A and B are shown apart, each in its own frame.
Chain A
Amino acid sequence: MLAAMNILADAGGSFWMPPSSSSVAPEVDRLFYGILWTCTFFFFLVTILMLLFAWKYRYRPGYMPAEGPRHNTALELTWTFVPTVIVAVIFVYGFQRFMHMAIAPPDPYEIIVTAHMWGYNFTYPNQHLDDELHVPVDTPVQLVLNSVDVIHGFYIPTFRVKKDIVPGRYNKIWFAATRTGSFDLFCTQYCGEGHSTMRAKVIVQSLEDFKSWLAAASAMNLPPTEMGKYLFQTRGCNGCHTIDGTTLRAPTWKDLYGSTVSFQDGTSQVADENYLHEVIVHPNSKPMPGFDKIMPDMVGAGQLSEKDVNDLIAYIKTLSVHYHPSSLPSTAPSAQKAAAPK
C-alpha cells in the first residue's frame, strides 16, 4: 500500500515539485524541502510575533505603555549570528549538490544540441541529426549546447537541469534519466516571438529501445523530395514557412518555385534553383517586403549539408504549380524523327 502511494506520488509529483526523473533530482528536492521548512518556520515566527505584539500592545484608552527597550546588544547579535549560520549551511548544501549537477561522470554519452529560433536539433554520435531528443535510461548523457542565433534555454523540469544556450560558446549539461517515458523540454531564455512555442520532448528509452530507434532513424534513406519534406519538418523550416499558401513569419513555399519574387530593395527575380540555393545558404541576403530578417544560417551551423539543401530545393519545387516535370514519353521516339534534323 505504502509502496503504491510512493509510486503515485513519484509519478504525479508533489504539491511543490514535478515528478523527479533524474539522478540528481532527489538531491535537489531534499534541499528544496529543507529550505522550505526553514522558511516556513521563520515566516510563522515573524508573523506570530508581529500579530502577538500588535494585539498585546495595541493602543486602547487608559493604556500607558512603560518605556520599552531601545536596544539589546546581546539579542541583536543573536539574531545576526543565527541567520548567518543558517544561510552558511544552506550555501554549503547548495554548493555541494550543484557540483554533482555540474560535473559529468567520466565518459558520458554525448549529444550535440543546436538551438535556433524556435526549436532544437540533436546530433547523435553517429552524426544522425534529429529534432527529437532520445536518451537511454540510467546512462549519463552529456549535451553540448550551441545556438545559431540568439540565447535560448534548455530546461527539463522533471530532471531539475537547466542551462542557457549561448551563441558563440559551448555550454554543457549532463543528466542520467532514471525513468523511461516522455518529458517536457522548455526554452527558458526569452528569444523573441515564438519563445513560448519552443518546446520539445525528451524520450527516455531502455538501452535496447534507444539503440534500435537510433539505428532505424539513421538508416533512413529517402528519395530527395521525401528527404526534403522530412528536413522541412525536422530542421525548424516549418516554424516560419508553410506549404499551404498561408503566411506565417516567412514566405510560404507553395507556388514559390518559378514565381517572380520581389525584394525589399525593389529588385525582383524568378525563384529558380539558383535563387533557392542562394537564400538557404545566405539567409536574409534577399529579404522580401513585409518579412523580418530572422532566418538562421543552418548551413553555416552544420544543420544542413549540401545534399540536404538540394533535397530541400527538390521538395520546394514539387509544391509549385510552376513546376511541370514531364515524365518520359511512354514510347520511344521514332528513329526517323530523331534523325530528321540531319
Chain B
Amino acid sequence: MSEAPRSQATNYLTHTRGFKSWALTLDHKRIGLLYMMFVLSAFLLAGIFAMLLRTFLLTPKPWMIADPEKAMRFYNNMFSLHGAMMVFMFMIPAIPAILGNFVLPMMLGAKDVAFPRLNLLSFYFYFVGAMFFTYVLLGGVLRAGFDLHIPGGMGLDTGWTFYTPYSTAKAESGVIPATLGAFILGFSSILTGVNFVTSIHTLRPKGMTWFRMPLFLWALYATSVIQILATPVLAITLLLLVAERTMHIGIFDPLLGGDPILYQHFFWFYSHPAVYIMILPAMGVISEVISVHSHKHIFGYNFIAYSSIALALLGFLVWGHHLFAAGQSNLANSIFSLLTFSVAIPSAVKVFNWLGTMYKGSIHFTTPMFFAMGFIMLFTIGGLTGLFLGALATDIHLHDTYFVVAHFHYVMMGSTLFAFLAGMYHWFPKMSGKMYSENPGRIAAVLIFIGFNLTFFPQFVMGAHGAPRRWATYPPEFQPYHVASTLGAYLMGIGLVTVGLNWLHGLLRGRAAPANPWGGNSLEWHTSSPPPYDNFAVEPVADDPYRMSNWEPDPTGEGWIPSKQPPELEPAEH
C-alpha cells in the first residue's frame, strides 16, 4: 500500500485559475462543485418558497393577499414551483451530480469519469434547463403574488405533475416553457447516468471486482440504470403534452378523443422510478457513512448491493399505485398493490444491515453520523407509512391527502436530504481540504431533525382526518396541524441556515484537513485533501473498501494513517 500523500504542491482547486478554467473544466471534481453551486441555489430558492407556502397556510382563509382569487393563484404558482424545482433541480441531481461526480472516479481510483466532455455537456444541460425553468416558474409567482411582470414569466399552476386535461386545455400558465425546461433537465440526468454506468464498467482498478466496489458505487450504478431507462419516457411524455396543448392531437384530452388517464400512466412510468433516482444514492451515502464512522466493516455487503439493484428493477413495476383512485380496474389495482409491497423488502433489508453495521463498531458521533442516524429513523417512518398507502383499502382513504404529502417528505426530505447532508459533511474535508466545526454541525442536525418531525408528523394526522393536498384554503378544524407544521418549517429553516454558515466558516476558517479524517478505506481517502488535479500521485490498488483495520489514528495529529502492519490483502470473496 502506498503512503497517502500528506500534501501536494497544487491541488485541483489551485492548479489552474480564472473563470475559463472553471467554466470549461473537464475535471469531474470541478464539475461536481459547479453542480453544487447551482443545485444548492435551487434548494435555497425552492426552500424559501416552502417557507412562504407554510406561512400562507397559517390561516384557513388566505391572509397574505386580500383578493381571494389572486391569493389562490399565488398559492397554486408557489406549490408548483416548490414541487417542480425540488424534484427536477434539487432531489434528482443532488447526490449523483454533486457527490457522485466528485467521489465516483476517485472511488474507482481513476483520473476522471469515462467521458469528461459529456460530463461538462451534462452540466450545461442542467444549467440551461435550470435557468429557463426557474425564470418561467419564478415569473409566475412574482406576477401572481407581487404584481411584478417579467416578460415570458408565465409561471406554472399545474403542480409538478402536469395532469391533463387541466394542463393541456385549461391552465393559462406557462405549461409549454416549463415542460421544455424539465425536458432539458432530463437530458442532463440521462448523460450523467450514461457516464456513470460506463465509468463503473470500464474504469475499475486492479483488485476491484464488482463485489469489492464501495456500496455508494452500487447505488449510483442502480440509479444510473433508472436514469437511462426512465428519463426518455418522461421526455416523450412531455413532448406529447406540448403537442396536445399546441396542436390538439387528441391523445390526452377527452374532448379530442384522448384519455387523460393514459397521461398519468406515462407520467408515473417515469416519475415512480424517479423516486428511486432520489432515494437510491441516499442509501449509498448512508452505507458509506455508517460503516466509516462506526469503524466497522459494512454488514451484509451482498444483501445491500443486491437490494439496490432490486429496488431499481422493482421501482419500474409499481407506478400504478399512483392511480389507485383514478378509476383503474380492480385487477390492475390489486396487481400494483402486490408489486408495491415488494419494494418494502429490500428497503427493510438495508435498514437492518445498517443496524448490523453499527453493532460492535466503534461509533464516532461526528456530524455525518448524526445525520445518518437521523436518516435511519426518518427513513423507517417514511418507509413504514408506505404500507398504509400500498394497502388498497387504506390507500383509498389516504390518497391525495396530506398523509401522502407527509409520507413522501419523510422519504424525499427526511431521507434524501439527510443523506445528502451526511454525505456533504462526510466528504467536506476531501472537497475543500478544510475541516468544519463539529459542534455547530451536530446542533444543526438536531435542529433539522426536530423541525422536520414537527413539520411533517402533524401532516400524517391531518391527512388521516381527510385534509386534501394542494388546497389554498381549508376548513378551520385543520388549522392546529397547519400551525404546528409551519413552526416546524421555521425551525428546520434555522437548522439549514446553520449548516450553510457552518460550511462557510469551515471553508474560510477551517483547519487543514488530513488525507483521511475518518479512517475510511475506499480509494478517495488514499489521496490528499483536497486531491491533486489527476486524483492520485500513485495509481492505487483496490482492497476491500470496508477494511477499516488498514488505518490507525495518527498519533501526531488529526485523522488516520495507514497501519504499520496492514493485514495481508485477502482475495476477493467473489
Spell out A's residues near B (CB within 8 Å).
13, 15-18, 24, 27-28, 31-32, 35-36, 38-39, 42-43, 46-47, 49-50, 53-54, 57-59, 63-72, 75-76, 79-80, 83-84, 87-88, 90-91, 93-103, 117, 149-151, 153, 155, 157-158, 160-164, 166-169, 171, 184, 186-197, 199, 248-249, 292, 294
Contacts and interface: CB of A to CB of B under 8 A. Distances in A.
Nearest to A240: B69
Given A28-B393, A196-B473, 12 more contacts: A57-B361, A57-B362, A65-B362, A71-B299, A76-B300, A83-B349, A161-B396, A188-B325, A189-B163, A192-B170, A195-B472, A199-B475
B166 A192 contact: yes
Given A31-B391, A59-B362, A190 B166 contact: yes
A41 to B, nearest CB: 10
B40 interface: no
B391 A93 contact: yes
A166 B260 contact: yes
B355 A157 contact: no
B349 A80 contact: yes
Interface stretch (B19-27, B123-131, B220-228, B462-470): B462-470
B303 A43 contact: no
Given A16-B461, A192-B171, A35 B358 contact: no
Interface stretch (B326-334, B487-495, B505-513): B326-334
Interface string B318-353: 000000011100100110011001101100110111
A149 B255 CA distance: 9
B349 A47 contact: no
B170 A76 contact: no
Most buried by B among A18, A69, A96, A190: A190
Contact of B464 (A32, A65, A71): A32
Interface stretch (B183-191, B198-206, B378-386, B418-426): B378-386
Contact of B384 (A42, A84, A157, A188): A42
A17 B461 CA distance: 8
Q: In the A-B complex, list the 9 residue pairs whose CB atoms are closest, starting with the nearest.
A: A168-B254, A157-B466, A94-B391, A68-B360, A98-B392, A97-B393, A196-B471, A188-B400, A39-B384
Interface stretch (B289-297, B444-452, B522-530): B289-297
Given A57-B362, A58-B363, A67-B549, A94 B390 contact: yes
A200 to B, nearest CB: 13
A75 B337 CA distance: 28
B288 interface: no
B41 interface: no
Contacts of A31: 391, 393-394
Contacts of B396: 28, 98, 101, 160-162
Given A65-B362, A68-B297, A84-B345, A168 B330 contact: no
Given A17-B465, A171-B327, A190-B163, A91 B355 contact: no
5 contacts: A49-B355, A166-B326, A168-B254, A192-B76, A194-B72
Contacts of B72: 193-196
Most buried by A among B157, B169, B300, B349: B300
Report whether over half of chain B's contact residues are helix, strand or loop; otherwise say mixed.
Answer: helix
Nearest to B75: A196
A199 B476 CA distance: 14
Contacts of B392: 94-95, 97-98
B364 interface: yes
A153 B398 CA distance: 13
A186 to B, nearest CB: 5
Contact of B358 (A50, A75, A186): A50
B394 A43 contact: no
Most buried by A among B255, B327, B349: B327
A188 B396 CA distance: 11
B244 interface: no
Given A190-B470, A196-B471, A79 B349 contact: yes
B266 interface: no
Contacts of A191: 166
Nearest to A117: B170
A88 B390 CA distance: 11
Contact of B296 (A28, A65, A153): A65
B397 A47 contact: no
Contact of A151 (B166, B303, B394, B401): B166
